[in-house]
Amino acid sequence: MPTDSNWSSRITEKVGKRLAERRKELGLSQATLGERLGLEKESVSRIESGKIAPSLSRLAMFCDALNLSFEELLMDVSTHPSDSAKALIASLEDLSPRQRDIVLRAARNLAALLRDE
């Protein structure tokens, strides 16, 4: 686990950003989401901007209202390599085998280039 004192605030910001992205994907305003959660619009805004860290129970409420699993939320903000791999795999699910092959070849080539830097 990183020892950087800002690590927790960076995670809080990433979680908030992901919640905001999902809310926007669903076409919801902060006020509408707040009504569904029993929160003021300002509370939704502070959580989405990373100014306050939501409790686990509050995160569960957000995830439920946004039809977002904890796994999806946390995988998107994790810095662990295996979580990044899982997120990449999930993004390929709706592609054809041929399209997945193209993406995988491109990713392997890019990784090789980056290793050679």
Measured CA to CA, the distance from residue 46 to residue 48 in angstroms comes to 6
Task: Say how many residues make up the chain.
Answer: 117
8 Å CB contact between 51 and 13: no
Phi and psi of 51, rounded to 5°? -75, -30
pLDDT band per the 50, 70, 90 thresholds, residue 35:
very high
Task: Indicate whether 5 pLDDT > 70.
Answer: no
Domain 1-77 listed as CATH 3.30.1330.20:
no
Could you give the maximum distance between any two Cα atoms of the chain, in Å?
52
Task: Indicate whether 80 pLDDT > 80.
Answer: no
Task: Indicate whether 85 pLDDT > 70.
Answer: yes
> What pTM did the predictor assign?
0.68
CA distances from 98 to 61, 89, 92 (A): 39, 15, 11
8 Å CB contact between 19 and 47: yes
Measured CA to CA, the distance from residue 23 to residue 47 in angstroms comes to 12
Mean of pLDDT over the chain = 87
Domain boundaries defined on the chain:
1-77, 80-117
Highest mean pLDDT among 6-20, 37-51, 82-96: 37-51
Task: Indicate whether 4 pLDDT > 60.
Answer: no
Single-letter amino acid code for the residue at 89 = I
Here the tokens at position 96 are: 């054809």
Mean pLDDT, rounded, for 22-32: 96
Helix (H, G, I), strand (E, B) or coil at 30: helix
